Amino acid sequence: MTYYAQVEEAVEFVRARAAQPDVAVVLGSGLGEFASRLQDPTVLPYDDLPHWPASQVVGHDGRLVVGTLAAKRVAALSGRVHLYEGHDLRTVTFATRVMASLGVRALILTNAAGGINTALKPGTLMVIDDHINLLGSNPLMGPNEDRWGVRFPDMSAVYSRRLRGIADEVARAQDLRLGHGVYIAVPGPSYETPAEIRAFRALGADAVGMSTVPEAIVARQMQVEVLGISCISNAAAGVLPQPLNHNEVMEVARQVRGAFASLLEGIIARL
């Protein structure tokens, strides 16, 4: 079965069980609780979805929840898979292909990230203005499926100016401090060295993580509007004199999940 056929089979499976979503939200490490805000939810475990990869990472629930929020039909993807788990980027972006093929026109990508810019303290929510791809690969490599988009899609405005403006409006209304910056994606799973962080800072990166960029690239190829939001969960290596660990990431995500969910709900209400 071709990759295109696998995506279409998953699309038909979801379409037969849930109403068509208007917007999709990919929930990063520790941020999956947002899915519980959806009303009249249809819950589809990833294990039940045809060809859908299941994440094995702590903090990723592994379920698709489709429901209503702020009068919008929302698909919340509670968890994602990563390059470092041994998947190729076609597998990493399978869910994005399905969401776009379902008719989603706005995709909100969230993640937990390390703060390179020292002004971005742990617990800050950062809107992604642009990204740097250091994954060593691109999800569009290989044969192009013309039904999904052009061979050489423009990437001069990956993250929608309109959606970033809405995020700022909601943050002001909620009296929430919202950062902006450039997200740099690395393969992981080891955290970065202090020397690498110094190099990333010189490149213009404000935050570092191991996801999001492949999904954003695929979404833009398929003409889906993208908003990216990072939860700054820790200071990157060398910024503070202490080691990094995933428990810290999860704890900070837990502390900000209320503000994070309110921000997302406000954004969705204005779409």
**pLDDT confidence of 45, banded at 50, 70, 90?**
very high
Q: Give the contacts of 44 (CB within 8 A, at least 6 positions apart).
A: 14, 17, 18, 63, 64, 65, 66
Tell the residue number behind the tokens 């660990």, with chain if given: 245
Mean pLDDT of 174-193: 96
Q: pLDDT for 88-104, tens place per residue?
A: 999 999 999 999 999 99
Cβ atoms 28, 20 nearer than 8 A? no
Query: Looking at residue 157, which CATH number applies to its domain?
Result: 3.40.50.1580
pLDDT score of 242: 62
What percent of the chain is predicted at pLDDT more than 90?
A: 83
Q: Please state the domain count of the chain.
A: 1
Containing structural domain, residue 143: 3-270
DSSP 3-state of 230: strand
Q: pLDDT for 257-266, tens place per residue?
A: 889 999 999 9
pTM of the predicted protein model: 0.94
Q: Give the residue numbers marked as catalytic.
A: 29, 60, 82, 84-85, 112, 210-211, 234, 246
